């Protein structure tokens, strides 16, 4: 069996998840390739265009939607993808020797809505956000996806051309044949099953894969020494690629929780922010803050091992890559009881799940974990949960079984 994974990139949250699924399949002997527009991995199994003109063309396509988005005024700051430009990927896929194609994050005009319906190969589609059953939004805070994008249920925070309705209607028009959907969390599966567009499509949950041989604990003292961190202080870590612009990552909620802690003098600790070059927020909490920027996997593993806990204050996560990596490294995670994070964190057993978006409870959760005399046991159980549920072999076998079912 030959599998082609199609993803805009092998980097970023969805791209990394897709790449890890692809590599887990190769490890159990599946003939798997990954086709992308943009690649950062020096891996021969990842195919991308080396032609400078093709790269420029792809860049132009990605930016074409910006012109269209000028006609929509919305308070939803999350990425929108109208996916209206046809591409050459369909012809390439249909002429390939693939037995099955696994779609991943195929936006940035990699595939148009109609392109997806023109793929003749058997399909599986791994959703990494809500775009598949929404309009153009990748994350939706309203509920139009439950009832359909009608004229009378448009949110009052939008004006101008209804790109979301236009995109959803094109999906309804072209996607007549259901595709086997895979979601990385039970929360996202529930969304699919309740959605107007995909409620009758086959759907199963297979978590994103974590390589527990890579993501494993490193000696805390040695990790702190390597990263020039203080030896005897409580240290909390928060990570996001662009915390200031990614509303769903909940950086504002974290700041509220930290202010609560400081105001009530609940506990003294130091904060590490990683994943971005610089945070534009002026943080005046009078606590030591280290901005470590982007880290490669080796340094990130050391960081997870060096800190006492990782906080993931997201409003929404399709899965929770940072939470799962930190857990695999034996570090407790504190988050809200929401979306995909509920599959990763077991409340007061592997970490802490605060009441949804309750910053007072989040601050109490930070205190509860950092002052917990059984904090090492929390980390041990967190790693065990990852090993038992998200390991390479288990996830790869579930994907292979799904492919075999589709090909019957």
* pLDDT confidence of residue 192: 98
* Tokens 């093709």, residue located: 54
Q: State if pTM tops 0.75.
A: yes
| pLDDT for position 66 | 72
CATH of domain 220-390: 3.40.50.2000
Task: Give tens-digit pLDDT for 171-193.
Answer: 999 999 999 999 999 999 999 99
pLDDT at residue 96, rounded to an integer: 98
DSSP string over 28-60? TT-EEEEEEEE--S--TTEE----HHHHHHHHH
For 331, the 3-state DSSP assignment is coil
Q: What is the mean pLDDT of residues 338-347?
A: 98
Same fold, 2-209+391-407 and 220-390: yes
Residue 83 C-beta-side C-alpha neighbours within 13 Å: 30
User: Is domain 2-209+391-407 classified as CATH 3.40.50.2000?
Assistant: yes
Q: What are the pLDDT digits (tens) for 22-58?
A: 999 999 999 999 999 999 888 999 998 766 666 666 6
Give the domain ranges of the chain: 2-209+391-407, 220-390
In three-state form (DSSP H/G/I as H, E/B as E, the rest C), the secondary structure along 136-200 is CECCCCCCHHHHCCCHHHCCCCEEECCHHHHHHHHHHHHCCCCCEEEECCHHHHHHHHHCCCCCC
H or E element that contains 317: none
Identify the band that residue 59 occupies on the pLDDT scale cut at 50, 70 and 90. Answer: low
279 pLDDT more than 60: no
If one counts every other C-beta atom within 10 angstroms of the C-beta of residue 293, the result is: 11
- Region 222-250: mean pLDDT is 90
User: With 60 as the cut, is the pLDDT of residue 280 above it?
Assistant: no
Report the C-alpha gap between 19 and 41 in whole angstroms: 9
Q: CA-to-CA distance for 264 and 8, rounded, in angstroms?
A: 46
For residue 229, the surrounding DSSP H or E stretch is: none
């Amino acid at each position: 069996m030959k599998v082609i994974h199609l993803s805009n990139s092998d980097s970023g949250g969805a791209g990394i998840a897709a790449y890890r699924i692809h590599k887990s399949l190769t490890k159990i002997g599946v003939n798997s390739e990954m086709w992308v527009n943009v690649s950062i991995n020096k891996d021969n199994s990842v195919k991308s265009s080396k032609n400078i003109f093709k790269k420029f063309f792809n860049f132009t396509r990605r930016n074409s939607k910006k012109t269209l988005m000028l006609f929509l005024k919305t308070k939803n700051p999350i990425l929108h993808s109208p996916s209206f430009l046809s591409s050459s990927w369909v012809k390439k896929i249909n002429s390939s020797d693939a037995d099955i194609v696994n779609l991943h994050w195929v936006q940035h005009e990699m595939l148009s809505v109609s392109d997806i319906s023109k793929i003749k190969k058997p399909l599986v589609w791994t959703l990494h956000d809500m775009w598949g059953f929404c309009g153009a939004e990748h994350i939706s805070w309203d509920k139009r996806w439950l009832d359909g994008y009608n004229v009378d249920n448009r949110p009052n925070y939008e004006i101008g051309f209804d790109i979301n309705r236009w995109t959803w209607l094109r999906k309804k028009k072209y996607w007549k044949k259901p595709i086997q959907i895979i979601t990385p969390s039970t929360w996202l599966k529930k969304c699919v099953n309740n959605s107007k567009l995909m409620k009758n499509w086959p759907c199963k949950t297979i978590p994103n894969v974590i390589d527990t041989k890579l993501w494993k604990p490193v000696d805390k003292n040695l990790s702190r020494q390597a990263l020039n961190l203080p030896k005897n202080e409580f240290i909390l870590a928060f990570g996001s690629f662009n915390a200031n612009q990614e509303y769903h990552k909940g950086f504002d909620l974290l700041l509220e929780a930290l202010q609560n802690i400081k105001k009530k003098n609940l506990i003294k600790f130091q904060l590490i922010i990683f994943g971005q070059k610089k945070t534009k927020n002026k943080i005046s909490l009078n606590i030591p803050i280290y901005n470590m920027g982007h880290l490669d996997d080796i340094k990130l593993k050391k960081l997870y091992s060096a800190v006492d806990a990782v906080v993931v204050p997201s409003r929404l996560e399709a899965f929770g890559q940072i939470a799962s990596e930190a857990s695999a490294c034996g570090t407790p995670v504190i988050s809200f009881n929401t979306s995909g994070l509920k599959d990763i964190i077991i409340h007061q057993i592997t970490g802490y799940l605060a009441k949804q978006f309750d910053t007072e409870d989040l601050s109490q959760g930070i205190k509860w974990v950092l002052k917990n005399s059984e904090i090492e046991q929390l980390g041990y159980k967190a790693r065990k949960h990852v090993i038992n549920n998200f390991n390479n072999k288990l996830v790869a076998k579930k994907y292979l079984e799904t492919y075999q079912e589709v090909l019957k």
